[in-house]
Amino acid sequence: MSARTIFSVNGQPFFPLGGQVHNSSAYTASELETGWRALEEIRANTAEIPIYWDLIEPEEGRFDFSVLGKMIESAREHNLKLILLWFGTWKNGTMKYTPSWVKNNPKKFKRVITREGVSTSVLSSHCDTNLEADTKAFRALMEYIKRVDEKEQTVIALQVENEPGIMGGAKRDYSEESEKEFRNLVPEYLIRKVQENSGSIINNVWKENGGKEKGSWEELFGYDAEEFFTAWSIARYIDRIAEGGKKIYDIPMYVNVWLATEWDIPGAGYPSGGAVPKVLDIWKWTAKNIDLIAPDIYARNQKSYYDFCNLYNRNDNPLFIPESSIDESNSLNMFRAIADYNAVGFHIFGIESILDENGSVKSSARSVVNSFKSLSSAIPLILRYQGTSNIHSVIQEEYASEQRINLGKYAGFVRFLQLDPYTHLIDPGAGPLDFHHRDQIREERGRGLLIQTGEREFYLLGGGYRLLLYRKDMLRAPLSVFYSSDFIKSRSIDYLSVEEGFFDADGNWITARKRSGDESDYGVWVHPDVGVVRVVLSEE
């Protein structure tokens, strides 16, 4: 599966690149302006914006979409697409955005009850009245979007709920209805799937508990039974909401995940039943109307970040990252997510936070902003080459001064300009680059993408590195002093052209500036403010 099969606009593949607004309080027009400004700064094409259930249905059955209408108009004025986040039954595992007529009537709209019998501020997924009310509101939302937007397609996708699960000191609901279901036999289709997926997390748990063909949740899954059961119940609930919405207007729908790692406690450390790696299979087998399960990846260290990318990038689940941090770490990791884990879209959370009170980019956000700028100039290339072996991430891992990339007849030697991020020792062979960038280019760690589009054609984006292209046949020639220095080797390559530029809306390459002589003799360098660099080599 590639980006083509998930997000599209007017039948054309679309790669959503952008940010999610801070979403915890109702939005004022001036706050929205800051959001648009910040999105413009990262050259976003998409904004993720919440729709609160309590705002659109203040009284049961009376809907008010005026705020959404203005939002859609305003997004169009700013040339942005929208991904709307439905804050219904769940937001971060609680019911914070449900209307007061739901909150004030716990007898009708039932809550999750803890083992001790305490009522929580989480709606129960075992209560049909809850499901009906949420589905009704969601369907009304989809009807409105279809009516005002089917032609323009400003809204390209819906996030159904926000980080669903039980966040309230319970691994599962102990209400009467839930108890009854929990004692039932595990549905046959789930057991069949578990059996078919040998080697999966859930299959291992099942085997550890005796690998029985039939039984209750506890009999089949032991300690994990409560979390598995909750995942199944919530996945089924959300699937029905999505099904209701899709019957009205069929656009991509996904569920986001508050991630957890082993030993985190469900219900306390993260929302129990949310689509964390352990129960991802249950979600995929149950929520058929959900196109994607999308992890919110805030991990800073590269190992955890890549592990999460790997777990959610599956044949049945392309990776989409709806939330990530504005840290420097993410300014590197995002390239890995796109090149090596085929992310079909990428967003950071709390986009307004990149700006200071004067509206300038904060120094702490500069590298992430720069990475976004680079990516935004190359989206047509990403869509065309994603999932192929032509796209390579360039990442200056800790302590790395160089990265080597196999490019067919050529060997790519990536030299990072900042040799050591701690001592700020720089690449001594980096030469003059160009006079605009001599100093600033070494400020940030090397990162970006290298995309090979033909035997002798390459596109580079990102910053903090230079690429030396060597002919492999020359490297393999008998050792000679001549070929041992970068200085000589980088001058021995024949460029037909080295150009700075970008892609227009139709995907055509536009050259902004040509480089030669001093500016290409030391290899091909790139920086976010030059957009993309295209290199074509001559025939040997």
> Binding residues for ligand DGJ, per CB under 6 A?
23, 92, 162-163, 256, 296, 323, 349
User: Given the complex with ligand DGJ, which of 113 and 280 has the nearer CB atom?
Assistant: 280
User: Given the complex with ligand DGJ, which of 245 and 295 has the nearer CB atom?
Assistant: 295
Instruction: Outline where 261-365 has alpha helix (H).
Output: 280-286, 302-312, 328-340
Minimum distance between the CB of residue 325 and ligand DGJ, rounded to whole angstroms?
9
Instruction: Outline where 377-463 has alpha helix (H).
Output: 379-385
* Cα 102-107-113 angle, rounded to 5 deg: 95
Minimum distance between the CB of residue 353 and ligand DGJ, rounded to whole angstroms?
10
Minimum distance between the CB of residue 95 and ligand DGJ, rounded to whole angstroms?
14
- What's at 426, amino acid-wise? I
Q: Where is 444: in which H helix or E strand? A: none
User: Given the complex with ligand DGJ, which of 21 and 127 has the nearer CB atom?
Assistant: 21
Minimum distance between the CB of residue 358 and ligand DGJ, rounded to whole angstroms?
24
Instruction: Outline where 341-479 has alpha helix (H).
Output: 366-376, 379-385, 472-475
Distance CA 409, CA 427 (A): 26
3-state secondary structure of 9: strand
Give bridge partners of residue 48 from the DSSP assignment. 20, 83
User: Given the complex with ligand DGJ, which of 167 and 186 has the nearer CB atom?
Assistant: 167
Question: Which residue lies nearest ligand DGJ, judged by its C-beta?
Answer: 163
How far from 481 is each of 203, 219, 478, 484, 492, CA to CA, in Å? 59, 72, 10, 5, 14
Minimum distance between the CB of residue 327 and ligand DGJ, rounded to whole angstroms?
12
* CA-CA-CA-CA torsion sign (346, 349, 352, 355): negative
Minimum distance between the CB of residue 109 and ligand DGJ, rounded to whole angstroms?
22
User: Given the complex with ligand DGJ, which of 88 and 380 has the nearer CB atom?
Assistant: 88
Minimum distance between the CB of residue 374 and ligand DGJ, rounded to whole angstroms?
25
* CA-CA-CA-CA torsion sign (37, 39, 43, 46): negative
User: Given the complex with ligand DGJ, which of 296 and 486 has the nearer CB atom?
Assistant: 296
User: Given the complex with ligand DGJ, which of 229 and 270 has the nearer CB atom?
Assistant: 270
Distance CA 523, CA 458 (A): 13
Minimum distance between the CB of residue 175 and ligand DGJ, rounded to whole angstroms?
26
Minimum distance between the CB of residue 229 and ligand DGJ, rounded to whole angstroms?
24
Long-range contacts of range 140-143, CB-CB < 8 Å, 24 or more positions apart? 140/56, 140/57, 140/63, 141/51, 141/56, 141/65, 141/68, 141/84, 141/86, 141/245, 142/245, 142/246, 142/248, 142/249, 143/248, 143/249
How far from 519 is each of 72, 339, 510, CA to CA, in Å? 45, 27, 20
User: Given the complex with ligand DGJ, which of 301 and 511 has the nearer CB atom?
Assistant: 301
User: Given the complex with ligand DGJ, which of 231 and 449 has the nearer CB atom?
Assistant: 231
Q: Where is 494: in which H helix or E strand? A: none
Contact 466, 527 (CB under 8 A): no
Minimum distance between the CB of residue 274 and ligand DGJ, rounded to whole angstroms?
10
Minimum distance between the CB of residue 25 and ligand DGJ, rounded to whole angstroms?
12
Backbone angles phi, psi at 132, to 5 degrees: -60, -45
User: Given the complex with ligand DGJ, which of 297 and 530 has the nearer CB atom?
Assistant: 297
User: Given the complex with ligand DGJ, which of 296 and 519 has the nearer CB atom?
Assistant: 296
Count CA atoms closer than 13 A to 458's CA, side-chain side: 27
Count CA atoms closer than 13 A to 506's CA, side-chain side: 2
Residue with tokens 């979007």: 145
User: Given the complex with ligand DGJ, which of 23 and 124 has the nearer CB atom?
Assistant: 23
How far from 505 is each of 46, 378, 400, CA to CA, in Å? 15, 11, 36
Minimum distance between the CB of residue 92 and ligand DGJ, rounded to whole angstroms?
5
Minimum distance between the CB of residue 135 and ligand DGJ, rounded to whole angstroms?
21
Distance CA 244, CA 491 (A): 63
User: Given the complex with ligand DGJ, which of 68 and 339 has the nearer CB atom?
Assistant: 68
One-character DSSP codes across 61-110 = TB---HHHHHHHHHHHHTT-EEEEEEEEEEETTB-TTS-HHHHT-TTTSP
